[in-house]
Copies of this chain bind each other. A is one copy, B any other.
Amino acid sequence: MMIISVTEENYLKAIFSAAHLSESRVGNQLIAEKLSINPASVTEMLRRLHDKKLIQYNRADGAKLTAQGLKSAIKVVRKHRLWETFLVGHLNFTWDEVHEIAEQLEHIQSDKLLDELDRFLGNPGFDPHGDPIPNKSGKIPVLKSKILVEAEIGKKLKVVKVADNTASFLKYLDKQGIALGDIIFVKEVQDFDGSLLVELKGKREIYLSAEAARKIMVE
C-alpha cells in the first residue's frame, strides 16, 4: 500500500471536485484557490503527485487524476459523506455543522471502519446535503436534478440537493423552512429581478431570490 499523506489527499480531492464541476482545465491556480494555498506550493505538490503516479500533468491540460488518483479521491469523498451522514443521523448534528468535522474524519485510515460505518448507516446513497455517496467499488449514484430557477412553472418537484454547503446558506434554508425531501413548486417568476414565488409542502408561499434558487436542486 502506497502511503498518501493527509495533504496529498486534500489535493486529490480538490482536483477531483474541480474537474467535476467545471469541465475545463484544472490548473495550478484553481487548486491553490480551493486549498487556500500559494500557487508556488501547488507546483511543488503536483510534481510529487505526478511522481507517485496519482495525476498526469502538463501545462495545456492541467492536472488530471490517474485511475489510482481517482480511486483515492473517491474514497476520501466517500468517507467525508458517510461521516456527515453519521453525524446528522446519529449525533444530533445539523447539516450546517458537519462539514468541518468531516474534513478531519475523512482522513482516518481503516478499510474495516469504512465498510462498517457504511453498513451501520444502511448503505446510504446520499449525504445530508443531497450529495451522492460513492459505494465501496467507487460508483457514484447519479441524480438527474436541476436547479430550481430552471424549473417549469406549476410543476411539483422535490428538493433533493443543495449546491452550496456553506453554513450561512444552510441556515438560511432552515429559517425558510426548506429541507431536503420537501415538495415545492414555482408559482410565479418575477420579471424584474428573477425572484421566485414558490409554494412549499402545499402549505406555505415564500419568495426566493434568483440567487438562492440557483442553489436549490430539485427533481
Binding site for B on A (CB under 8 A): 87, 90-93, 97, 100-101, 104-105, 108-110, 112-113, 116-117, 119-120
The reply to whether B113 and A101 contact each other, CB–CB distance below 8 Å, is yes
The interface residues of chain B lying within 8 Å CB-to-CB of A108 are 101, 104-105, 108
The interface residues of chain B lying within 8 Å CB-to-CB of A100 are 110
* 21 A–B contacts, CB within 8 A, in A order: A87-B113, A90-B120, A91-B112, A91-B113, A91-B116, A91-B117, A91-B120, A92-B116, A92-B119, A93-B112, A93-B116, A97-B112, A100-B110, A101-B108, A101-B110, A101-B113, A104-B108, A104-B109, A104-B110, A105-B108, A108-B108
The interface residues of chain B lying within 8 Å CB-to-CB of A105 are 108
**Complex: A101 Cα to B114 Cα, angstroms:** 11
Name the residue of chain B whose CB is nearest to the CB of A6: B6
**Complex: A93 Cα to B111 Cα, angstroms:** 12
What is the minimal beta-carbon distance from A128 to any residue of chain B, in angstroms?
Answer: 15
Name the residue of chain B whose CB is nearest to the CB of A110: B101
The interface residues of chain B lying within 8 Å CB-to-CB of A119 are 92
